[in-house]
Structure 1
Amino acid sequence: MTSVDTTSADAEGVAVIFRRVLESADVAADSDFFLLGGDSLIATRVLSAVARTYGVELSFEDFVLAPTPAGLAELIASAG
């Protein structure tokens, strides 16, 4: 696996992932994934995309505790 600069993880980058998996353009940094219609199966797609994009493996529990692009970006940055 190649090394990825996790400092480049920002809320907008994670929001792009949310938009893609939710097929919705209406995602802001503070948008709650579950309130946007996401579920646990779709969340696994987000976690996979985060791992591919940023090289960081987050758990489903991490996702539930920080279900916004901004929250996940903070977790990604702190993992790096």
Structure 2
Amino acid sequence: MNMNITVYTQDNCPPCQYIKNYFREHQILFTEKNIRNSQYRSEMMEMEAFSTPLIMIDDEILHAIDMDRIEALVHV
């Protein structure tokens, strides 16, 4: 199953590091977009998200780390 996963992050964000490590440990491919890049910051704000990590799994946007929902979506 091919999923499109994007994680909006920022530097010095322990929850961001946690979710990136989780995906790596489970060999789940994802794209990281660090919001120090103004384009990525604008994309995130367009989704009315103002904190990181912001996790997009296909068409679903998660504004917080909800491991039950993430595991259900990625079938871990």
Same-fold call, TM cutoff 0.5: no
Give the TM-score normalised by structure 1.
0.28
Report the TM-score, using the length of structure 2 for normalisation.
0.29
The answer to which structure has the higher helix fraction is 1
